[in-house]
Amino acid sequence: MSEGEQAQEYHGKLPRHVAIIMDGNGRWAKRRHMPRVAGHRAGVESLRSIIQRCGELGVEALTLFAFSSENWRRPEKEVGLLMELFIIALQRETKRLNERNVRLRVIGDLSRFSDKLQKEISKAEEKTKVNTGLLLAIAANYGGRWDITQAVKKLALQLEKGDLAAAAVDEDMVFQHLCMADMPEPDLFIRTGGEQRISNFLLWQLAYSELYFTDVLWPDFTPKELDTALEWFAGRQRRFGRTGDQVEQIKRA
Ligand code: IPE
Ligand code: IPE
Ligand code: MG
């Protein structure tokens, strides 16, 4: 099947937003008797091919968990190497992202990163900001609890200044202050590496996402593996609290 036909195949059932926990780099390397960082390097290759595939298929947004707020607990050496890899990837990949019309955004508490890394992030965001294709969000030093907390803090400040009444606070207002307020909520969540947990990723935004877990380690997650996840997604009935019959009725109307 050609790519165009495949996109057609998912027609109407293609997720607008895919969010991925890219897990299993360390185990991938360990199995090969290689240092963990070799797994992270191999993971960058997967990342590149998955971004390309999402762009080709017409997925609107892709969010990738690259470094969690808890990952600082890893050995200093691994954290340092991950930061280095992040800088190198930003420098190397920006050109490719532009060629593919991808707009990059990095979400998370960036203040803990080095000045150099923060600068590279702004540069890459700036260089890709006019692109109109896939919106790529990289979650770095991101935590779902941090995201909700920073949203609440912004609202509390408005309240303190007298610009906001407590009674006016509703779900939509909280959502509007989260990191991805201008993006559709993720329709499909994927976690590679065999663990079945959220690990403080997008806590608010995943409320109604379809959750797909695979044992495949991230460096082995090819576009074909993504297609399998998309096929699985296309077969889900999303009910949002309604009954299955109601959903069928709405579809026919
Ligand atoms: C995910 O792979 C990448 C990051 C968290 C940066 P891991 O490094 O967690 O790989 P495993 O889980 O140890 O195999
Ligand atoms: C989650 O993976 C974070 C990223 C993939 C960046 P971890 O491997 O850190 O998750 P836990 O700690 O095992 O749940
Ligand atoms: Mg892991």
Whether 185 shows a pLDDT value over 90: the answer reads yes
Ligand 2 atom, smallest distance to 66 CA: 6
Whether 141 shows a pLDDT value over 60: the answer reads yes
Q: Which of 71, 98, 131, 200 is catalytic?
A: 71
Residue 31 lies in a domain: yes
Residues within a 6 A CB radius of ligand 1: 22-27, 67, 71, 82, 193
Ligand nearest to the CA of 39: 1
Nearest-CA residue for atom 10 of ligand 2: 199
| CA 23 to ligand 2 centroid distance, Å | 6
- Mean pLDDT, residues 5-18 taken together: 77
- Mean pLDDT, residues 74-91 taken together: 97
Q: Tell me, what CATH number does 133's domain have?
A: 3.40.1180.10
The C-alpha atoms of residue 120 and residue 175 are separated, in whole angstroms, by 28
Residue 11: predicted pLDDT: 61
Whether 91 shows a pLDDT value over 90: the answer reads yes
Provide the CA 31 distance to its chain's centre, in angstroms. Answer: 26
Residue 150 lies in a domain: no
The question of whether 71 is a catalytic residue gets the answer yes
Whether 7 shows a pLDDT value over 80: the answer reads no
Whether 167 shows a pLDDT value over 70: the answer reads yes
**DSSP line for 1-30:** --HHHHHHHTTT-S-SEEEEE---HHHHHH
Residue 244 lies in a domain: yes
Ligand 1 atom, smallest distance to 21 CA: 1
Whether 4 shows a pLDDT value over 60: the answer reads no
The C-alpha atoms of residue 216 and residue 192 are separated, in whole angstroms, by 6
Query: What residues does the ion ligand 3 have nearby, CB within 5 Å?
Result: 23
The C-alpha atoms of residue 14 and residue 210 are separated, in whole angstroms, by 12
Residue 250: predicted pLDDT: 94
Provide the CA 227 distance to its chain's centre, in angstroms. Answer: 17
Residue 2 lies in a domain: no
In the numeric block, the tokens 């609440």 are attached to: 152
Residue 6: predicted pLDDT: 58
Q: What is the mean pLDDT of the chain?
A: 95
- % of residues, the chain, pLDDT over 90: 95
Residue 115 lies in a domain: yes
Residue 170 lies in a domain: no
- The structural domain count of the chain equals 1
Q: Which domain holds residue 87?
A: 15-143+185-252
Residue 5: predicted pLDDT: 58
Ligand nearest to the CA of 140: 2
Residue 2: predicted pLDDT: 58
Residue 12: predicted pLDDT: 74
Ligand 2 atom, smallest distance to 193 CA: 8
Residue 22: predicted pLDDT: 98
Residue 21 lies in a domain: yes
Alpha helices in the chain, H assignment, sequence order: 3-9, 25-31, 36-57, 76-99, 115-128, 144-160, 171-176, 223-234, 244-252
- Mean pLDDT, residues 134-157 taken together: 98
Residue 44: predicted pLDDT: 97
- Mean pLDDT, residues 144-157 taken together: 98
- Mean pLDDT, residues 136-158 taken together: 98
Q: pTM for the full model?
A: 0.95
Q: Which of 23, 25, 141, 187 is catalytic?
A: 23
**Cα dihedral 173, 178, 181, 186 sign:** negative
| CA 163 to ligand 2 centroid distance, Å | 39
pLDDT band at residue 1, thresholds of 50, 70 and 90? Answer: low
Residue 36 lies in a domain: yes
| Residues near 108 by beta carbon (within 8 Å), at least 6 away in sequence | 67, 69, 139, 140, 141, 142, 143, 146, 179
Residue 159: predicted pLDDT: 98
pLDDT in tens, 194-218: 999 999 999 999 999 999 999 999 9
Residue 252 CA: distances (Å) to CA of 11, 65, 119, 177, 240? 16, 37, 51, 36, 17
Contact 90, 120 (CB under 8 A): yes
Residue 9: predicted pLDDT: 65
